[in-house]
Amino acid sequence: MSADTRAAIGIHTVEPIPPVTTTMSSPDGPLARGNGASEPDDGPDGSPSEEREPTGFVAVTLAELHKVVWPSRQQLFSESVAVILMVSLSAAAIAAIDRFYHWGSTQIFR
């Protein structure tokens, strides 16, 4: 079967993936830069910056919490009201549907 015929009827061939060599996965190889390995940050003058990354669990957690954008009091209140309102409406709709089906089943199975 030719490649054009296979493509016409929807049969696609998959080329094998070449194996990864050890030089590609070395700590300083191209894969190391793309998978989260950190390189020292350079300051504005090209020298390494003095800022060190936190090392302990609590220090890392606090550093991440400092990055959080916290909502204002008004935004927190209005979004909480919206959530409570939607949950209440959903509960009322489910209760109404449940009562309707209960009424229907009592009408059928008297």
**Contact by Cβ (8 Å): 60, 54:** yes
Tell me, what's the pLDDT at 108? 94
Tell me, what's the pLDDT at 77? 97
pTM: 0.42
Tell me, what's the pLDDT at 110? 84
Bridge partners (DSSP) listed for residue 48: 42
Tokens describing residue 49: 């910056």
Reported as a pLDDT band with limits 50, 70 and 90, residue 12 is: low
